[in-house]
Amino acid sequence: MTCRILYLIGQLHSGGSERQLYYLLRDMDRNRYRPAVVVWNYYEQDIFVPQIRGLGVPIYALQDAFLPLAKLAALRSLIQQVKAEVVHSFSFYLNFAAHWSTRGTQAIALGSMRSALRLDKRINGRLLGKLSARWPRTQIYNSFEAANHQSASRSLFLPKRVFVVPNGVDCQFFHVVPLATTGPAVILSMGSLVQIKRWDRLLAAAAELKRRELEFFVELVGDGPLYRFLEQQIKNLDISDRLTLRGYTDDVPDFLSNSAFLVHTSDAEGSPNSIIEAMACGRAVVATDVGDVPSLIEDGKTGFVVKRGDDAMLVKRMANLIVNRDLCRRMGEAGRAKAEREFGLDRLVSGTLAVYRAIGWKDVCPIESELSPVTKRTAYL
């Protein structure tokens, strides 16, 4: 089987990168572009495995038992086997793997930056962080803030060309449900339960809002290594009656529909999916000024942008929306209008394909009879 575009990703679990890849695959002309996906750490039970298979897109898995060098060799063999024309890494730490595996082949390699550049470089270690920040020499960022940081930096370990393709949102899936006008305000927070998300800020804010005797309830949706720690902190702060950990869910629209507004407390981001999803559902957002948040949220119109570390202002803005349901509604309506106007999936697809063409990919539609049949299978290399 051959493919034209091969996407390399770390896993197919529940993250924002996985959702954006799914959107891209779903909405592109798959007969024309013949995409396939190769997964570095494959798990059959991951959320997006059946969804991508359902599109008829082949999934190739690099067996977990392989050492990294063996995986690199297997990836290079796959690229040659399927005659990929474009190899696009969708996970930052696999950028260098995409670059190395395409050397000496006809394939064009691209990398990705889907978070904060400094954060991803630090998380992935001194060597891999630098290599993946520099190679492939062309990379697609989803964040204008990250691209601006890259252009202002003098580091040698940066790509030569950066294109920005913002995240998209499915405005039909994330639909608007009228805001509840009675009862306690339900506040939603979503994301991985990791330290960089600064859930301690959310818990401290909930404790202060409870002290002020405001009527609210927080639902924290997500999973991760901090789950048990946060569970204990909720008990220690005596806010179990005001904040609940919901774990992972794939029914985000339902949680958004039952909420009054979304709160995002992270210390570092690229372009957070949860914010544009909340806006698509017609919900106001209170968020820290990280990554592209200041451009996603029109402060005072679609929500509130709070300076990182200004915990008093975070509490104030949350309190404003708790007591003013009409303000929540107006901000939510403005957010929905912006989501429809600026975050459509057509831009995600057309923008990504435009980058491929800009760096030399010959987008010539093959003759229909030459197309290989798309199979629903996983190949283990």
Give the DSSP letter of residue 142: S
Please state, in angstroms and rounded to a whole number, the distance separating the CA atoms of residues 166 and 276. Answer: 11
| pLDDT on residue 39 | 97
* Per-residue CA distances from 159 to 6, 10, 214 (Å): 20, 20, 49
Which residues neighbour 50 within 8 Å (Cβ) at sequence distance 6 or greater?
Answer: none
On the question of a cis peptide bond just before residue 159, with omega within 30 degrees of 0, the verdict is no
Query: Is the pLDDT assigned to residue 372 strictly greater than 60?
Result: no
Q: What is the CATH number of domain 5-168+344-380?
A: 3.40.50.2000
Please state, in angstroms and rounded to a whole number, the distance separating the CA atoms of residues 268 and 265. Answer: 9
| pLDDT on residue 153 | 82
Q: What is the CATH number of domain 185-342?
A: 3.40.50.2000
175-186 residue pLDDT tens: 999 999 899 999
Query: Is the pLDDT assigned to residue 366 strictly greater than 50?
Result: no
pLDDT average, residue stretch 305-327:
97
Q: Is 227 exposed, middle or buried, given 0-12, 13-18 or 19+ CB atoms closer than 10 A? A: middle
| pLDDT on residue 375 | 31
The percent of residues above 90 in pLDDT, for the chain, comes to 80
Please state, in angstroms and rounded to a whole number, the distance separating the CA atoms of residues 316 and 266. Answer: 17
> For the chain, how far is it from start to end, CA to CA, in angstroms?
14
Q: Which amino acid appears at position 90 of this protein?
A: F
| pLDDT on residue 378 | 41
Q: Do domains 5-168+344-380 and 185-342 have the same CATH topology?
A: yes
What 3-state DSSP class applies to 62?
coil
Provide the residue ranges of all domains of the chain, joining segments of one domain with +: 5-168+344-380, 185-342
Please state, in angstroms and rounded to a whole number, the distance separating the CA atoms of residues 360 and 157. Answer: 23
Cβ contact 138:360 at 8 Å: no
Cβ contact 261:320 at 8 Å: no
127-173 residue pLDDT tens: 898 999 999 999 999 999 889 888 888 788 889 999 999 999 999 99
The percent of residues above 70 in pLDDT, for the chain, comes to 93
Q: Which amino acid appears at position 194 of this protein?
A: V
Query: Is the pLDDT assigned to residue 365 strictly greater than 70?
Result: no
178-211 residue pLDDT tens: 999 899 999 999 999 999 999 999 999 999 999 9
92-110 residue pLDDT tens: 999 999 999 999 999 999 9
Helix (H) or strand (E) holding 163, with range, is strand 161-164
| pLDDT on residue 163 | 96
pLDDT average, residue stretch 268-278:
93
Please state, in angstroms and rounded to a whole number, the distance separating the CA atoms of residues 203 and 220. Answer: 10
Find the range with the poorest average confidence among 77-86, 113-122, 351-360.
113-122
pLDDT bucket at 122, cuts 50 / 70 / 90? low
pLDDT bucket at 336, cuts 50 / 70 / 90? very high
Residue scoring higher pLDDT (119 or 356) = 356
Query: Is the pLDDT assigned to residue 373 strictly greater than 80?
Result: no
What 3-state DSSP class applies to 30?
helix
What 3-state DSSP class applies to 187?
strand
Helix (H) or strand (E) holding 122, with range, is helix 117-123
Cβ contact 187:218 at 8 Å: yes
Task: Say how many C-beta atoms besides its own lie within 10 A of residue 126's C-beta.
Answer: 10
23-54 residue pLDDT tens: 999 999 999 999 999 999 999 999 999 999 99
236-257 residue pLDDT tens: 999 999 999 999 887 899 999 9
Query: What pairing do the DSSP bridges indicate for beta strands 185-190 and 378-380?
Result: unpaired
- Read off the pTM: 0.89
| pLDDT on residue 379 | 42
Please state, in angstroms and rounded to a whole number, the distance separating the CA atoms of residues 53 and 62. Answer: 17
